[in-house]
Structure 1
Amino acid sequence: MTQAQQYKAAVVQAAPGFLDLAASVDKTITLIEQAANQGASVVAFPEAWIPGYPWWIWLGSPAWGLKFVQAYHQNSLVKDSPEMDQIREAARANSIMVSLGASERDHGSLYLAQFLIGADGNLIHARRKLKPTHAERTVFGDGDGSSLEVHDTPLGRIGNLCCWEHLQPLTKYAMFSMHEQVHIGAWPSFTCYPQAYSLSAEMNMAVSSVYSLEGQCYFLAPTAVVSQGMLDVLIDSPDQQELFGGGGGSAMIYGPDGKPLCEPIDPQQEGMLIADIDLGAIAVAKSFADPVGHYSRPDVTRLLLNKKPAPPVQELYVPTAIAPDLEVLEEPELTESAIVVD
């Protein structure tokens, strides 16, 4: 595959069409067009961009939050749906790759998903956050090993993770081992629990910068913004006002040495950051330290990685000699072991 060595990348800092799938899709398409008009070859959207991050899980009891559940479920994005077709068509029409954060609805369950869509409109990968963080587990299910993947694309080797997946050292090392060149890390806004420094923009953007330094890759870090309209929907009491505020944007793009490549946008404002990507610069960063190459010690420490899908139901082959009265399924083709040791 021929790869572009130099191009422009865009990251979004904006408020979602909160709890509104149609409005979210319309705003997504508008921002895709804006990024393409500014010369970007790829645009990245925040975590749970569609239909917005479920902030109520941090602001009250599960019983209090039940009033949001039906609307959130109905306005989450289905992978094979007319809404997804609209977004894919926008990517194709504007010849731009899209990394889309969404609450994915799969029948009765929701997942924190990232959809990577090619500039031709084809879906390259649909991944799910491996382990929802803390209160997120009251809303979202787990992903599986198939969500850890890096893809050969015309823009280089591209991978995705969500939010605090970037705090899981083994997950990060698995991604590094697949030789990422451009990493897309989707974040929400940073306005919740101001007393918790671990949830601050400062700390989580530091994590993003360190990821790019550790993996010697570019890091695209889109973030959301909390609008006044969202506050009006979510806040019921003065106590909640103290726990959650507006704004919280902190979008950035980092180089393979961890350096910020853009001037930040005001945390209260919506906007889009654009930076130049030069895949050739990665070689310089790798010459200092490659954690899965010359700067590794596999004789001392190494990682076990299971990348196989783990569906909740899997049909099994039953030999007729054991169960002659059962309908016999076609015997599955043997595949390699699910546990790979490099």
Structure 2
Amino acid sequence: MPDSTRIATVQAEPVWFDLAATTDKTLDLIADAARGGAQLVAFPETWLPGYPLFLWSHTPADQVSFVAGYHLNSVDVNGAEIQRIRQSARANQIWVVLGISERLHGTLYISQLIIDDEGVVRLHRRKLKPTHVERSLFGEGDGSGLQVVETPFGRVGGLNCWEHLQPLVKFAMYAQNEQIHVASWPCFSIPAHHYTLTSDASLAASQTYAMEGGCFVLVANQVMTAVGAQRLGVPVEILAAGAGAGVARVYGPDGSPLTELLDADQEGLVFADLNLAAVAAAKAYADPVGHYARPDVFRLTVDRSARVPAHLTDAEPTAGSAAASAAFTDLPLASTS
């Protein structure tokens, strides 16, 4: 395992609800991260095709005009767009943690993929519980996605947005000796409504995760420019003090910020060099699943079995759950030479 690993985390604006164009932008960011020497690049929540902010800014009746188009531009995990991204990961020899709005038949899921540097999907997970109004558009995941992936540079995991406020979800990740964590966030910040919906709260939750878990945390998030807000009919007031709300950064295992914030409306990659010795140093003080745990008093049981709506015994297994999507590793990848 290398002494130091260079990573990149994304702060950028998707081409709102345009899957093809945002895929093109994804490939550019992957290539930029690789040129910058990164071994891993982290993307925001529902990066493809963009976070559906209309859920928070429009009434249910007004959302109707968005929903059909959002479905059509959401991601088939075995479709051409993911195939291109996998090929890019292999061509650039970089791991990719990708946030998507996943489309499976008539249902959408807030999903994350961890793709290795050979283009193989090593993890396909879905947000366990969509948050508040998200539940009107997205389905629920299952425990099969609560996994940490072994990589040549450390144990990598990821969660979406308010999963970082769910103590048992976090503990399930800590218990797997997670060393590098991707915290994927959307673009909004609504200070007039509730502090927990602000960018400051997103950073606080991410920093707390780093301190609790004794791991590096990569904060990836979207920005929405005034042009993007106008295109979607979103009032700029919902975006903190104006357009932007970008907060991408990296925290060390002791909670210290390792990078400076970009401007709130700036697009770019945030790079950092991680040394896993810092994980050992942090956990020497407090290891939540080791010397600082009390398993004799507290015990967490996590059901990581995949859930499917129907068991059709006369048919092959289907991709009814994230864990059942084994076809990923069998997909032929086009030559990148």
Identity between Structure 1 and Structure 2 (%): 47
1:108-257 mapped onto 2 (5 Å cutoff): 108-235=106-233, 240-244=235-239, 245-257=242-254
What does residue 34 of structure 2 align with? 36
Which stretches in structure 2 are left out of the alignment for 5+ residues? 317-337
* DSSP-derived class of the 2:39 partner: strand
Answering whether residue 250 of structure 2 is matched by residue 269 of structure 1, we say: no
- 1:291: how far off? 0.7
1:306-321 mapped onto 2 (5 Å cutoff): 306-315=303-312
The 1-side partners of 2:192 and 2:40 are apart by 32
Residue-pair matches, total: 314
**One-letter amino acid of the structure 2 residue matched with residue 32 of structure 1:** I
- 1:234: how far off? 2.4
* DSSP-derived class of the 1:304 partner: coil
What does residue 8 of structure 1 align with? 6
Q: Work out whether residues 226 and 236 of structure 2, in 8 Å CA contact, stay in contact via their aligned partners in 1.
A: no
What does residue 281 of structure 1 align with? 278
The 1-side partners of 2:276 and 2:246 are apart by 27
**One-letter amino acid of the structure 2 residue matched with residue 200 of structure 1:** T
Q: Work out whether residues 191 and 247 of structure 1, in 8 Å CA contact, stay in contact via their aligned partners in 2.
A: no
* DSSP-derived class of the 2:48 partner: coil
**One-letter amino acid of the structure 1 residue matched with residue 76 of structure 2:** V
The 2-side partners of 1:243 and 1:227 are apart by 12
**One-letter amino acid of the structure 2 residue matched with residue 61 of structure 1:** T
The 1-side partners of 2:105 and 2:111 are apart by 14
The structure 1 segments of at least 4 consecutive aligned residues displaced by more than 4 Å after TM superposition are: none
Which stretches in structure 1 are left out of the alignment for 5+ residues? 317-326, 331-342
TM-score, structure 2 as length reference: 0.90
Q: Work out whether residues 188 and 238 of structure 2, in 8 Å CA contact, stay in contact via their aligned partners in 1.
A: no
**One-letter amino acid of the structure 1 residue matched with residue 290 of structure 2:** G
TM-score, structure 1 as length reference: 0.89
**One-letter amino acid of the structure 2 residue matched with residue 78 of structure 1:** D
- 1:301: how far off? 1.1
CA distance 1:51–1:31, change in 2 (3 Å): same
What does residue 291 of structure 2 align with? 294
- 1:193: how far off? 4.9
Is the radius of gyration larger for structure 1 or structure 2? 1
- 1:155: how far off? 2.1
Q: Work out whether residues 126 and 147 of structure 1, in 8 Å CA contact, stay in contact via their aligned partners in 2.
A: yes
**One-letter amino acid of the structure 2 residue matched with residue 277 of structure 1:** L
1:54-133 mapped onto 2 (5 Å cutoff): 54-133=52-131
* DSSP-derived class of the 2:269 partner: strand
